[in-house]
Structure 1
């Protein structure tokens, strides 16, 4: 009884003090009342009073009523509110004191509430179940000019569908998948690397060889049958502490004029680096020190015919060239005789940064064909040697797509740095930021632009590769572009005209910025959307009632009037956060069935403007998240996830789902929690909670979806028609990369996943390439 009284007194005191603070901010009165009642209960316990147990039983009943009123019948919500109090009742039940009548009151209450709470494990209030219409509606859809057994581009083709026509693996036999081989590249995150050193590569399969890059820009060729190394090229990228990212998502391929896949040699890796050669076929890899290298697929030698003996310096004509501020993490687009390259500009390091220019080079010579700079969008002729591009103009750091028949390339556009300070932007930069832009492959001229956020103050870059698919609509078949966004909208546009196929409307947005700035009065929303509802105080969560209370205090202390609440010196909640509902993993689209599969995520972030008046700000510029200096601007910005003191998200789970959409109707057919807490909790419990992740899915003609991405280390297969998980395999490291599939020389369908982890989300680091196939 004494132990119970001491612990309850401490908990009651914490709830009373915190509850008063929360009540002062306009929050719930429950915590003050609960704290005071627990203090009374502790006093009664010290006195061994007969009312100790009955009063605690009444407290449990009242708390259960409050919990159900706030959150409904949801296990995670109830466990956070009741778990600690149910545990505190155990010593009170076991204590040997005279008031046996009190025990007879408390025990049935405790038991009933325990059964009710545990029963909520069977409820699934966040689940949407449905059966996708997976009948084939288009027998011969456009998929890009790639052999069925191969994977020639990041999204398999320049259409970005992440769809394979292979159908050997089906929902009926996917459970028979087993590991066929694994390869370790040897390239791992080192002690001098930046936080966001990540392995996000999707391999290409050309002929009988896989080609992939590593975080430090090694280009590796593997035998597609057994994963053995054929050759390796090291771009020898030096370390640089000012990079925000150290990663490579993939390489790009230019087929030879004959169209026949190159015969790749197996070389002695210890031999001297080969001299540059004249290349027929070419592989293009961007590097994190701002080069584009062209490599011979046969031997791994540089291509003498391209640029300066196979290397192109992407810092040419840049207005600023700070080390580590500009580089390219995504593979370029190779189409219609040009290789089109965009780049990433560090967010919020400096007001004056490199340009976000997009450039097209001749695939064979490396000569500049055109340049499109959103700061001067009409001037696409190659820039002169003494000219410079626009300072800090909006960039495109993700993966682009192309329609060679229409002669258009589609770039998802980011924002101008500084992201949260909007008064530096020109009218042109405002027009093209946070949008998708269609450019002519021949001239770089703008065909159309569609913006997803007006006057973006939240780092809501368009992060995902647009997906090309022809859709059956009420107006007939239309060439469509499917563009997922960070804010949760999925825009379906006519890719020839840019006009919306699914309606887009404008909604009022919160106002009120720092003096120099303004906020757009409205923001667009697509009819197809995964935006979450506006958060309320009751949506705050925590592992216990104590850190839930602290999350509520954070929530009420920060500025939040819903999505698009402007940044502030007070600190603003940004939800969805800049991690995005969708990110670079994009979505997968089946062009025959005209359906989409994606992985929507829900994590709130905070952004606070910090006066940059010359005083010491402490450590800055250590990655995307944290305090970044915005050198030359009056405000620095501090960005981070909204977390409890225990390091878990303050908002109530689930945080991650898989979802299926019928693109013929725009209906979201199913949405299921995805992933377990096995690798993010102190105990390795495989509880399906719906966890965050980053990466993307692929769809196969066999009706199976493959994806890892979640922060637990598993590769998974799902039924395309229902979204139900069919199979999983434990990975040796984090699988924050998009998989791919192909046929080996024996005609067996292989599925390959890179597992190397993600520095900023804390998954296990590794250097693995793992292939699966069906048991014989």
Structure 2
């Protein structure tokens, strides 16, 4: 009976592989599955007939599978396992006594061939197991190396003046370096870090919140106080020593189901040098809200500063051409420069072409009066518009964080795309010029100084998502004021920030064509000499827990359009890789200006996009996200679009791991020193195993003068410390919720703290929470 059941199992496996394999061959994929399926069917037939030759045939299946797997992926355990797991397990089953008794020799003379068949199968199983075990000790994706510990610039330019123990802006200074000059925590003592205090905001994602309700804030530290905001825009001040609440202000933004994002990445701080230190609102916190307001608060007590704008609140929908509820808001903190506060805003992606403007506006920080406006749809006029005028509808916006160089008088703006992201027809000349670019504006007037486009005719939602990082870089031609610009497609642009010209060369490379009839594709796309652009996907890149879901992913891969990076969207469906989730996203990178090195977290996750003609777009109320997943309606456009990660039926990425890394770069040479997989599947799998697979993440790193970088971000609930020189993980702490926020560091009473907010991310599915956690070394360490 056992033999009969076994033969049925082999027959079913063979039929599944033969059927799926034949389908895959028709799509131009591998012949392996069909051939393996036939091998299973022959084995099943021989088992049913109780013939020992079944073991010899199956041994050939194992050897063929091993040879094919090594040819495709080499000794990569996570690639070998799905190819050979089922095959080897069934081979082991054939060697058990239960099966052997059913196909044993019928006479004494049959025993010699019986031993030969059994021995041959056992040998092939052992060879395959040996290859598997050997591959477990290798990491073919790891780049091993070291960054120099040399202090290249002992007295670096860190941006605006900030005491070493404080953190005044989102990236610490207006340079956005995410670099702390503190050195109390080192690779030698970081393992002693422990929780110093924990604070809970009380603002937790609820059942009626939009999907992308996320906690992404990086607190500020000024004097003895931390300032932060929550996803629903509650501003809070905490004591830096104890974490106790000093004050809170709730703007009561309310819920809005048309709001695409519900988050707050930070507040902005300003000290009025003309006011007495103890005067009301002498120091202020500016709070951007998801209902399109900018509110000025007294940093001392959280009271509204009524002298700013109208009663302390600036209406950011003023002069907008369209004002639907929930379509425009600020998720990132405004930039403060001199007596200006400069505000950008997020616009809902792919809801409708009747969208608000992406205008950048500078206001008098004391009165709220409009000083200048730069609208990429009308870039030459920066004088304030009149009360009856409107900005250009649906112009590219800047939803991330800006940087500034006050000495050069320049503001650096990362720009996104025009809605719809995947449709390029009928774009204006200005949209084509400014979409997906880094723009430098004159801080005082808003006039354009230069523009560097990172994608031409963007059809993939490749916004420039990250704050540009400023550093004075030592080059062969001497020190150069530089800008480091991370992008979603993985290119790192290293530019002269005075002119926008490349320091590390940028070339134009051929790009795929094949758009829908109404559109076009750029024949070339820029490629930076410093790039984390991954290798082109192939059928062999597809992955699964078993050979069956891997086969399904291969069929899916060959059923979609894919010619490499920048394959245009299609009605058939297109693979977008790197995906629009980004190799880099709003978390940006951290830069050590002393050592002139960069630490970052590249993520690799393929996405798909499928255009849907307008008359086929389902009625409202279905699977609509207007974000990275589901149906994006694009009201008013000829096509909607379905978007989402390239996933298997099991809900796992079809593309093989690793999906996430940490990396170190020498910015003087543009060379990648190391690249190590990062993160575990502990919180992303049914069984909470801390397997170091290298997982996706969203968030950013910070770096310290002590030589330690800190990062949460990964989809497991940890904050980690890394040796900046080697990239090795040297500390980790379990978080009570997802750590999709960028950490910061400060000093108080001679003690260095590291702070991260743990509140989770709705889109990536990490655990929600409301925690602010500070770590420090024990007293006396």
TM-score by length of 2: 0.96
Q: Which ranges in structure 1 are unaligned for 5 or more consecutive residues?
A: 264-276
Are 2:711 and 1:696 aligned? no
Are 2:551 and 1:549 aligned? yes
Maintained 8 Å contact 1:279/1:304 = no
Counterpart Cα distance in 1 of 2:558 and 2:63:
27
Q: What SS class does the counterpart of residue 699 from structure 1 fall into?
A: strand
Maintained 8 Å contact 1:621/1:627 = yes
Deviation of 1:177 (Å): 0.6
Q: What SS class does the counterpart of residue 480 from structure 1 fall into?
A: strand
Are 2:130 and 1:115 aligned? yes
Q: Describe the superposition over 1:50-96 as per-residue Cα deviations: whole angstroms up to 9, x where unpaired.
A: 11222212111110000000111100010010112122223322224
1:15 aligned to which of 17, 42, 45: 17
1:748 aligned to which of 734, 746, 751: 751
Maintained 8 Å contact 1:511/1:521 = yes
Maintained 8 Å contact 1:349/1:621 = no
1:184 aligned to which of 200, 203, 211: 200
Are 2:728 and 1:713 aligned? no
Deviation of 1:46 (Å): 2.3
Q: What SS class does the counterpart of residue 60 from structure 1 fall into?
A: helix
> In the alignment, what sits opposite 1:271?
none
Deviation of 1:743 (Å): 0.7
Maintained 8 Å contact 1:743/1:749 = yes
Q: What SS class does the counterpart of residue 63 from structure 2 fall into?
A: helix
Counterpart Cα distance in 1 of 2:283 and 2:226:
15
Q: What SS class does the counterpart of residue 353 from structure 1 fall into?
A: coil
Q: Describe the superposition over 1:103-137 as per-residue Cα deviations: whole angstroms up to 9, x where unpaired.
A: 33222321231122022110111111111112101
Q: What SS class does the counterpart of residue 142 from structure 1 fall into?
A: coil
Matches within 5 A, 1:477-496: 477-496=479-498
Q: Describe the superposition over 1:375-427 as per-residue Cα deviations: whole angstroms up to 9, x where unpaired.
A: 00011111111111111000000000011111111010000001111113110
Maintained 8 Å contact 2:150/2:595 = yes
Are 2:247 and 1:247 aligned? no
Maintained 8 Å contact 2:307/2:367 = yes
Counterpart Cα distance in 1 of 2:132 and 2:8:
26
Q: What SS class does the counterpart of residue 369 from structure 1 fall into?
A: strand
Maintained 8 Å contact 1:336/1:441 = no
> In the alignment, what sits opposite 2:156?
141
Deviation of 1:16 (Å): 1.1
Maintained 8 Å contact 1:4/1:88 = no
Maintained 8 Å contact 2:617/2:640 = no
> In the alignment, what sits opposite 1:167?
183
Range with bigger deviation, 181-190 or 2-11: 2-11
Q: Describe the superposition over 1:217-253 as per-residue Cα deviations: whole angstroms up to 9, x where unpaired.
A: 1111111111111111111011111111111011110
1:738 aligned to which of 739, 742, 750: 742
> In the alignment, what sits opposite 1:364?
366
Counterpart Cα distance in 1 of 2:76 and 2:5:
31
Counterpart Cα distance in 2 of 1:292 and 1:115:
63
Counterpart Cα distance in 2 of 1:481 and 1:669:
20
Q: What SS class does the counterpart of residue 424 from structure 1 fall into?
A: coil
Q: What SS class does the counterpart of residue 653 from structure 2 fall into?
A: coil
> In the alignment, what sits opposite 2:415?
413
2:342 aligned to which of 335, 340, 343: 340
Question: Aligned pair in 2 of structure 1 residues 614, 571: CA closer, same or farther (>3 Å)?
Answer: closer
Deviation of 1:47 (Å): 2.4
Counterpart Cα distance in 2 of 1:7 and 1:384:
76
Maintained 8 Å contact 2:421/2:461 = yes
Q: What SS class does the counterpart of residue 44 from structure 2 fall into?
A: helix
Are 2:215 and 1:199 aligned? yes
Are 2:628 and 1:628 aligned? no
Maintained 8 Å contact 1:134/1:595 = no
Matches within 5 A, 1:75-474: 75-94=77-96, 95-97=99-101, 98-99=104-105, 100-101=114-115, 102-144=117-159, 145-257=161-273, 278-474=280-476
Deviation of 1:620 (Å): 5.0
Deviation of 1:194 (Å): 0.7
Maintained 8 Å contact 1:480/1:493 = yes
Counterpart Cα distance in 2 of 1:81 and 1:497:
51
Maintained 8 Å contact 2:342/2:363 = yes
Maintained 8 Å contact 2:281/2:300 = no
Counterpart Cα distance in 1 of 2:520 and 2:626:
27
> In the alignment, what sits opposite 2:534?
532
Q: Describe the superposition over 1:256-302 as per-residue Cα deviations: whole angstroms up to 9, x where unpaired.
A: 31799x78xxxxxxxxxxxxx95111111111111111111111111
Deviation of 1:615 (Å): 5.7
Counterpart Cα distance in 2 of 1:504 and 1:143:
26
Counterpart Cα distance in 2 of 1:662 and 1:739:
22
Maintained 8 Å contact 1:143/1:157 = yes
Q: Which ranges in structure 2 are unaligned for 5 or more consecutive residues?
A: 106-113
Are 2:658 and 1:654 aligned? yes
Counterpart Cα distance in 1 of 2:529 and 2:40:
49
Counterpart Cα distance in 2 of 1:729 and 1:570:
45
Question: Aligned pair in 2 of structure 1 residues 321, 103: CA closer, same or farther (>3 Å)?
Answer: same
Maintained 8 Å contact 1:143/1:159 = yes
Maintained 8 Å contact 1:332/1:399 = yes
Count of paired positions: 761
1:29 aligned to which of 16, 26, 31: 31
Q: What SS class does the counterpart of residue 80 from structure 1 fall into?
A: helix
Counterpart Cα distance in 2 of 1:180 and 1:152:
21
Question: Aligned pair in 2 of structure 1 residues 617, 105: CA closer, same or farther (>3 Å)?
Answer: farther
